[in-house]
Amino acid sequence: MANQYTYTLDSGADIYLDISGDLVIEGRESPELRVTGDDLKVQVSEDLKRADISGEDDCRLSVSATAKLHIGSLGGDVEITNVDGPIDIASVDGDLEIRDCATFNINAVSGDVEVWRIEGPVRIDAVGGDAEFHYIGSELRVDTVGGDVMVKDAEKLTRIDIETIGGDLVFDTEISPDVVCKFSTVGGDVRCKIPADANVTFRIPRHVEHSVEIPGVKIVSDDDTNSIILGEGHGLIEFETLGGDFRLVGHGGFHFEGDINLDLGPEIAEEIEESLKVHLGHLDEHLSTIQDKLNRTTEQIQREAERAASRAQEIARRQAEQARKQAERARLAAEHAAEHSKRKRGKGWEFEFSWPSSKEKRKVKIPVGAIPPIPPIPPIPPIPPMPPMEGWGPPPPPSRPIEPVKNEERMMILKMVETKQISVEEAENLLAALEARE
């Protein structure tokens, strides 16, 4: 729950505020100052004629109706009611609503402005959003409004000066015969609703499309302007530049709060209905285009996701295949090494080669350890002589037993391998043939 503080001030005291959050101020018939909020700093002068209030959070004040408000830069929205003293505001980052006050002056409002029942003059430099002015009793001066503007029930107004309106203007009020209203630039359309017996002249640029639905109106044109004169034309409402069209109707023709009352005659009703159909058709086309773009974007995202998943699966498959091949090569290499080792152990000797670089001579390393001697082959018994046969000569002498492979032969074969006369495989075959001779 927010903290509440109460102070006693003079009825017409100056109150200075610098609040970062929202601000609500309510005037009442009491000299007390009630401050509600968290982490607020309040300083009251010894003579009780001034109070300074600052803080980062929201603030709610109950002040004397005759207090003078001096508001600096406000970070949130502002709501002020029932203050008869002057109100000065430097800037408001949010929206501003002022009701039942005497007069005020504002430099800048970033959001919307809504003003109700102000007896004295109203002065605003800039409004970023829309602005509504109801029951203004004296003068209204605004430099710039970024959005739409409505002026309603301001029959006591004697002067309106608005330099720039970015959107549309709705002017719905009775008019004093002495009123002077000047609008320098209106970016959108202008809709005016006044009593049919008003005494006023509307002056608009001649090139602007206009529609006047009040009987007995006189229109006078010159080189640059069209003057639309009602009654004696005492008052003046002038538009220097209009970006849209201009429409003037009498009270009862239409109103601007809530639903539109189309008491405009069959031709105008048909025109409005046709225009609505065209705009709604364009809106449907835009919505359809947006939906198509969303569908294409969704399909593109789905395709990209599918391609990414496919790429991931292909990468995983390739990695698995590569791992399988590496394992298969390792298995074959192991089997080959085992077979080669077994074959060398069976023969009792082995070759070990060191293959040097191209600048070195290729060498043959003799295995460690002496080569075991090969046992001699037992002598082959002599073949008995065959009996002589008629027509044949004497039998050939028996063949001599073949001696086993000598170490000198082995060294000769190794020398031939070293000099690259034969390969290792050819040396193995040669030694096998020598060992197998009978």
- For 394-412, what is each residue's pLDDT tens digit? 555 555 555 566 777 788 8
pTM, 2 dp: 0.57
Per-residue pLDDT tens, the chain, 438 aa: give them.
678 889 989 888 999 999 999 999 999 998 899 999 988 999 999 999 999 999 999 999 999 999 999 999 899 999 999 999 999 999 999 999 999 999 999 999 999 999 999 999 999 999 999 999 999 988 999 999 999 999 998 888 889 999 999 999 999 988 888 889 999 999 999 999 999 889 999 999 999 999 999 988 999 999 899 999 999 988 999 999 999 999 999 876 444 444 444 444 565 566 666 766 666 666 677 677 777 777 877 887 888 788 878 887 888 888 888 878 877 877 777 777 666 656 655 444 444 444 444 444 444 444 444 445 555 555 555 555 555 545 445 555 555 555 566 777 788 888 888 888 888 888 888 888 877 764
| Closest listed residue to residue 62, CA positions, set 36, 87, 39, 42 | 36
Structure tokens of 263? Answer: 């008491």
Instruction: Work out the mean pLDDT of the chain and round it to a whole number.
Output: 81
* Alpha-carbon separation of residue 128 from 24, 143, 170, 185, 242 (angstroms): 21, 11, 18, 16, 20
Strand segments, DSSP code E, in 48-198 are 50-55, 59-64, 68-74, 78-81, 87-92, 96-101, 104-109, 113-118, 122-127, 131-136, 139-145, 149-152, 159-165, 169-172, 180-186, 190-194
Chain centre distance of CA 225: 48
Token duo for residue 73: 């830069």
Q: Which pLDDT belongs to residue 366?
A: 45
Q: Which amino acid is at 113?
A: V
Give the pLDDT confidence score for residue 386 in this predicted structure.
53
Which stretch of DSSP H or E encloses residue 32?
strand 32-37
Rounded to 5 degrees, φ, ψ at 402 are: -85, 135
pLDDT of residue 340: 63
**Cβ-count burial 139-165 (b if 16+ within 10 Å, e if not):** bbebbbbbbbbbbbebeebbebebbbb
pLDDT the model gives residue 356: 47
Give the pLDDT score at 405. Answer: 64
pLDDT at 397: 57
Could you say which DSSP state residue 127 is in?
Answer: E
Query: What local confidence, expressed as pLDDT, does residue 376 receive?
Result: 56
Class of domain 3-264: mainly beta
Segment 405-409 long-range contacts (CB within 8 Å, at least 24 positions apart): 405/374, 405/431, 405/434, 405/435, 407/371, 409/434
Q: Is 50 left (phi over 0), alpha (psi -120 to 50) or beta?
A: beta
Ramachandran angles phi, psi of 312, nearest 5°: -65, -40
d(CA 344, CA 424) in angstroms, rounded, equals 13
Distance between CA atoms of residues 167 and 129, nearest Å: 10
pLDDT for 314 equals 84
Q: What angle do CA 293, 296, 301 make, to 5 degrees?
A: 125
Tokens of 331: 């298995």
Specify burial of residue 126 (Cβ count, 10 A radius: 0-12, 13-18, 19+). Answer: middle
> How many contiguous H segments (helices) and E segments (strands) does the chain have?
3, 29
pLDDT at 271: 65
Residue with tokens 């503007």: 149
Domain ranges across the chain: 3-264, 265-347, 351-382+397-438
